[in-house]
Structure 1
């Protein structure tokens, strides 16, 4: 007998599946009906509670005023109670979420009670009961006041009971919370945390004198920031919530350091708009502190008109557009109303990613990608001939110090030749402005990467002496930007996620840090102030940050204890690395109209001689001759103190090597003293 796949045995799974689906739907409808029934029963229960409250209030007022109810009085009372219940239903009294009962519920209560009393009096007039009901106007006024208090109080009591039960359902020990900020956001934080299981707000701090030593919802305002230590000792908080919109950086740092020293977690509060929510339009959002919050500097509203005038309606070319800085340059430039944006990178994926991001953020902007290496002049020249940009922002470079140190000729050739090709092609095609993104590693370089960027600065300065040049040029020198690809912060985060240890090269190592958007914004401000003198602008990076402190802060931000949960180990300086970075060589600095930007008083260089040195450097790199490359570059960068690894690779004598950490420390301190 041949098996029939369409027979009853084959249909059985399908029938069973259909039956199971139908059964599931029946259960689903049953659950919905059950929830709906429970909600209706609760609403009816509250209607009954309100009726009992109103009858009780009537009895109390009648006893106090020595009144009795006759048939006419009962007609008025029934009309009043029915009217109030109808108004409660129409105004949503019984649909309100008890946990969030507040001013809105009280307003409904007042409106319905007063209207009900008015209907009772209207019934007296309409039915002709004047003088026969024997209750009097004072009776209805007192009854209305007591009814408002009793009905509103019942909702408040229910809310307090729910909050108490909710707090008891959480962890046995609730975290004690000290709230900094006693304004509207602080009050919102208090109300939300009181309802949240596991939290117990204990006190406020606020620098506003008018609220200090006052009480908000039963919690005292203990003082200002100067009372932080005393408040922590008194309240013993587990969490500090910063409930201030856009808190100043010094405040965030102070609270974080105090929390880190005492093992107290610090959170930032944010009011989130929600016009359809139960809390009248605002809900509380809490988040952990990020490193950006600690490195952020005081907000300064810069006049963007010079930048907008430089960019609006123009064509712009950005090299290295796929990098961390290059991509942010693209976004900020696009926001200034450029007509076309040409983006260039040698990484296919990075170029594709920034192109997609720009297309999504600025769908009407014409974005033209160029995939090529800058070391090929003909390709670079073709791009400039095609794009005809008004402004070129050159952010392309190999930047990872140990990698370039291990491949010095390739790294130097890419950075110097790529820059020279873009500079030459820009001049040939009448570019109006040219900006070089430089680095603090160009100052007294100890690496091939830093020396290559210093050589680019010298080339730019020499270009100002070229009689044929017409471009406005500048270099912008700054330190590390937070979160750039391959930088120390992402590496620390990966090590924390994997359970440690965190590797720090040296306990005394410091670096300058700046947020990428701030750095790029200042780069564009500097570019708008460039002239044909090829200035080297220096961004004010603030105070240097110890890398070990940075690691400890990141560990604490992730809820771990430094040296306990996550160990810190020291790996030693890598080839080409410094203990300290600098922003000035031996130059003096003059100020601009923006305090965050200064101009280095750099030396002048002969354009023809620099061209000769450039050819020597490129020729040495082409044959991978590190010694010849170093020799040619040190003619213009005598302060370059090469690493031991590069010296060995280049076959240089020991006297030309830098091996002493004390030398690096002494050089930095002397430079700092000279510049100050």
Structure 2
């Protein structure tokens, strides 16, 4: 198979300087265009004389060749000036420019014919024949138009060649209609930074054929060897994976072998999902670590969720955070009657406010800069809006930070939840959906323990007399790309040149995208009867060291060679493996395959309230942190500190 190319690269380099000079010129000055046109006219007259030489139509000897040529070209100069045929930019010539040339040339023929007829009438001698004038007009017009076509097409060719050689040369994966359609879109967009040079097929059939005049290359058994051969053959820079043509395991296999062959890998959604053709540059991106996790795409019943929130007044606490802001965006698309986003982080809240104003100008929405631990402030907001649905995402979540500041963790995660839950009951909210975490399961740190205490409180509150609000808890693991999560952290370390720090070589975590997590939160909110803990199927846990190595490779670097990886030890309160269920809890399936409902242990409401009252007093007074932790451990017997200064409290029991 021969390499298919518009122009071999070695030839491009040979004339690169000349091409660059031409492309850098804005346009030829008018005097230069006029001079070239006059030279073409002189050449046309010379060809005319040459053709008619030694024929009966040859001009007489009254005037010399030079005199006749000067007269004809001078007349043409006059007509060029009259019709301004030189005023256009040659590389942008249109029918209007051709029309002007035709008028000028026709005028030359008319003036010359009339002049010759008058000369013969008054002086009785013929200066030039009508046939020669007609042949000259034809040749000059043809050469003038041809000159413009050559310049225009040469410029277009050089622009196209220059653009193509600055683009990434890619193979489009697959030979189905979707892959071919994507290649057509890319080839039709001159501004796209990618240039398809072939299609990659995983078929075992060693067939040689072309699609859209691009070769189809096979890569099946020895993928790495085949990719190296293809890279050398077609001089490609990378491979473009289209839509969901591959399973995650197959995609991982292709990516690994591509990296081994020093090829980049790109990913894109299908063209029919793009809003416009200009989305090409945005939708095609280098493949991300999120694309390579062993997870299946999660689908939710958008119609059911939309019907459930239609006409409702909805509150999202923590509405400027990673989870909260995504909840706000998804709920806004469902067009509730009113949407309130509440947070105490000013700048992120301002950003979500601008987003809502720009993307949902007709939506009745508002942002509130407020702290969920301020009871009076919260009561004022609840009394004003009387929310139908509350999504409680406000929380402190960073384990090492809350381990050092347990008062703030208890105040925000426990007391704040209690205030909101009580107000939801007081103002007859229909539903209260609390966002929890897998760190609340057999907690090993203050953050996890505080979220577990909040879970216990809303479950116990559900069973109190007169409570009509349905309290639901959603429990899931880490979300990809959230503020402070491991992926942005690793990306920043790689950007700085390393080292990438991993706390333990065997540490694993569950991962889910922010969008998927929020979709499941909304779905769970529609199915709860009250008091449930909904547990999300997070797929397989991911080894963090493997993730670090993969992210370094995705950056085009080699782990342990270009970027070092350091094992720094577990952080305060951190454990190796996260869990989704507490001992004694079991799960039951729901109609959604990714959502299970936990069968939880009941807790005494009065006992919980008594301990929470004491915790609230402790957070508002000066005292030792360990007293707060001791009280938490009394409330949550399974709370055992790990890698923490509070571990000594467990040893005392």
TM-score where L is the length of structure 2: 0.69
**Do the aligned residues in 2 keep the contact of 1:189 with 1:269 (CA within 8 Å)?**
no
**Do the aligned residues in 2 keep the contact of 1:185 with 1:243 (CA within 8 Å)?**
no
Taking the aligned partners of 2:163 and 2:527, their CA distance within structure 1 comes to 63
Q: Residue by residue, what CA displacement relative to the aligned partner does 1:203-222 show, whole Å, maximum 9, x if unpaired?
A: 63335789965344676534
1:632 match: 631
**Do the aligned residues in 1 keep the contact of 2:552 with 2:563 (CA within 8 Å)?**
yes
Q: Residue by residue, what CA displacement relative to the aligned partner does 1:4-37 show, whole Å, maximum 9, x if unpaired?
A: xxxxxxxxxxxxxxxxxxxxxxxxxx94444997
1:113 match: none
Residues 271 and 423 of structure 1: CA distance in aligned 2, closer, same or farther (over 3 Å)? closer
1:252 match: 251
1:482 to 480, 483, 487: 480
1:122 match: none
Taking the aligned partners of 2:406 and 2:462, their CA distance within structure 1 comes to 28
**Do the aligned residues in 2 keep the contact of 1:465 with 1:605 (CA within 8 Å)?**
no
Q: Residue by residue, what CA displacement relative to the aligned partner does 1:320-368 show, whole Å, maximum 9, x if unpaired?
A: 1110111111111111111111221122222222222111111122223
Taking the aligned partners of 1:468 and 1:169, their CA distance within structure 2 comes to 71
Residues 589 and 410 of structure 1: CA distance in aligned 2, closer, same or farther (over 3 Å)? same
Q: Residue by residue, what CA displacement relative to the aligned partner does 1:264-307 show, whole Å, maximum 9, x if unpaired?
A: 3212367879xxx9xx9997875311233334844454322221
**Do the aligned residues in 1 keep the contact of 2:217 with 2:230 (CA within 8 Å)?**
no
Residues 384 and 296 of structure 1: CA distance in aligned 2, closer, same or farther (over 3 Å)? farther
1:563 match: 560
2:174 match: 181
Taking the aligned partners of 1:364 and 1:167, their CA distance within structure 2 comes to 46
**Do the aligned residues in 1 keep the contact of 2:294 with 2:540 (CA within 8 Å)?**
no
Secondary structure at the residue paired with 2:361?
coil
1:525 match: 523
2:377 to 376, 379, 390: 379
Secondary structure at the residue paired with 1:328?
helix
**Which sections of structure 2, spanning at least 5 residues, go unmatched?**
1-24, 48-89, 94-145
Taking the aligned partners of 1:32 and 1:357, their CA distance within structure 2 comes to 44
Residues 176 and 369 of structure 1: CA distance in aligned 2, closer, same or farther (over 3 Å)? closer
Structure 1 residue 505: Cα displacement: 1.3
1:579 match: 576
Residues 197 and 421 of structure 1: CA distance in aligned 2, closer, same or farther (over 3 Å)? closer
2:86 match: none
1:451 to 446, 449, 452: 449
Taking the aligned partners of 1:357 and 1:168, their CA distance within structure 2 comes to 35
Q: Are positions 1:266 and 2:261 aligned together?
A: no
Q: Are positions 1:542 and 2:535 aligned together?
A: no
**Do the aligned residues in 1 keep the contact of 2:219 with 2:226 (CA within 8 Å)?**
no
Q: Are positions 1:608 and 2:606 aligned together?
A: yes
Q: CA RMSD in A?
A: 4.1
Secondary structure at the residue paired with 2:644?
helix
Taking the aligned partners of 1:551 and 1:423, their CA distance within structure 2 comes to 40
Residues 630 and 333 of structure 1: CA distance in aligned 2, closer, same or farther (over 3 Å)? same
Taking the aligned partners of 2:552 and 2:502, their CA distance within structure 1 comes to 13
**Do the aligned residues in 2 keep the contact of 1:347 with 1:371 (CA within 8 Å)?**
yes
Structure 1 residue 582: Cα displacement: 1.3
Structure 1 residue 496: Cα displacement: 2.0
Taking the aligned partners of 1:465 and 1:597, their CA distance within structure 2 comes to 23
Taking the aligned partners of 2:34 and 2:603, their CA distance within structure 1 comes to 84
Equivalenced residue count is: 513
Q: Are positions 1:641 and 2:640 aligned together?
A: yes
2:439 match: 441
1:228 match: 223
**Do the aligned residues in 2 keep the contact of 1:458 with 1:605 (CA within 8 Å)?**
yes
1:401 match: 399
**Which sections of structure 1, spanning at least 5 residues, go unmatched?**
1-29, 53-93, 98-150, 657-676
Residues 383 and 564 of structure 1: CA distance in aligned 2, closer, same or farther (over 3 Å)? same
Taking the aligned partners of 2:33 and 2:590, their CA distance within structure 1 comes to 71
Secondary structure at the residue paired with 1:495?
helix
2:410 to 409, 412, 418: 412
1:594 match: 592
Q: Residue by residue, what CA displacement relative to the aligned partner does 1:385-441 show, whole Å, maximum 9, x if unpaired?
A: 111010000000110100000011221222100000000011001000000000011
Residues 281 and 36 of structure 1: CA distance in aligned 2, closer, same or farther (over 3 Å)? farther
Structure 1 residue 613: Cα displacement: 1.9
**Do the aligned residues in 1 keep the contact of 2:373 with 2:415 (CA within 8 Å)?**
yes
Structure 1 residue 232: Cα displacement: 2.1
Aligned ranges for residues 227-376 of structure 1 at < 5 Å? 228-229=223-224, 231-236=226-231, 239-248=237-246, 250=248, 251-268=250-267, 286-295=284-293, 297-376=295-374
Residues 282 and 302 of structure 1: CA distance in aligned 2, closer, same or farther (over 3 Å)? closer
2:423 match: 425
1:620 match: 618
Taking the aligned partners of 2:484 and 2:30, their CA distance within structure 1 comes to 54
Taking the aligned partners of 2:290 and 2:368, their CA distance within structure 1 comes to 32
Residues 464 and 287 of structure 1: CA distance in aligned 2, closer, same or farther (over 3 Å)? closer
1:100 match: none
